[in-house]
Amino acid sequence: SYVLTQPPSVSVAPGKAARITCGGNNTETVHWYQQKPGQAPVLVIYYASGRPSGIPERFSGSNSGNTATLTISRIEAGDEADYYCQVWDSSSNIALFGGGTKLTVL
Amino acid sequence: EVQLVQSGAEVKKAGESLKISCKASGYTFSNYWIAWVRQKPGKGLEWLGIFYPSDSDVKYSPSFRGQVSISVDKSINTAYLQWNSLGASDSATYFCARKMGSSSGWYQNWGQGTLVTVSS
């Protein structure tokens, strides 16, 4: 199976936009999760750009080639969390998670 | 409202067996794949495997095949993750999650997590 590559950390000032990348195969079907300390993950984007109900419009996703990007606009302190990308590897019949990106709000 | 409620924290010794549970409510249990995900302290998410209650199809990550067993009891809408012999490296928080969509689908709903601590 292959790997999904995320930057270990991203820092951004309040009010600015944060962009977190996920590189690998099948990123056109990537899903993104937010996880705050001590909590279960929460889905924020599905199939690269779909936004579940209840997720603010500030969260958006895109994909180009083998790289998916999660963009969080107008960053707030409450967005500070770990973010994980995930895909399904159909050749191995397993789900893969990226290593996670810690988003720090300066 | 969809809910996945997991069993409580466990403290075990190496070599002991363990079965943790994930009780689902708010949807038709048989119709959705349910997965287990591991998270070691301070580390990322690792996918262990997934079970489809309707036909008992199960898939495991090669990293965990033979180490854990996933099962369900459809009569009580509950999924299980089981170890026959725990090791210290199994200490982690384990999440169950309901899968939506097709085979490449996403994990919409998550349990609150079960902390497993194994002492040697």
pLDDT digits (tens, 9 = 90+) for B28-77: 999 999 999 999 999 999 999 999 999 999 999 999 999 999 999 999 99
- Report the distance separating Cα B93 and Cα B105, nearest Å: 23
At residue B118 the predicted structure's pLDDT band, cuts being 50, 70 and 90, is very high
Residue of A nearest to B42 (CA): A37
Burial (Cβ within 10 Å: 0-12, 13-18, ≥19) of residue B62: exposed
pLDDT for res B28: 98
A1, A43, A47 member nearest B107 (Cβ): A43
Joined together, the tokens standing for residue A60 give: 């958006």
Q: Are A16 and A75 in contact (CB under 8 A)?
A: yes
Residue A1 reports pLDDT greater than 70: no
Q: Could you tell me whether strands B114-119 and B10-13 are parallel, antiparallel, or unpaired per DSSP bridges?
A: parallel
Structure confidence by residue, pLDDT tens digits, A33-62: 999 999 999 999 999 999 999 999 999 999
Q: Are B4 and B94 in contact (CB under 8 A)?
A: no
Angstroms from B38 CA to nearest CA on chain A: 11
Would you call B112 and A29 a contact, using CB atoms and an 8 Å cutoff?
no
Would you call B107 and A33 a contact, using CB atoms and an 8 Å cutoff?
yes
B47, B105, B107 member nearest A96 (Cβ): B47
- DSSP reduced 3-state for A27: helix
| A7 and chain B in contact, CB less than 8 A | no
Percent of chain A with pLDDT over 70: 99
Angstroms from A99 CA to nearest CA on chain B: 6
- Report the distance separating Cα B107 and Cα B101, nearest Å: 9
Angstroms from A96 CA to nearest CA on chain B: 7
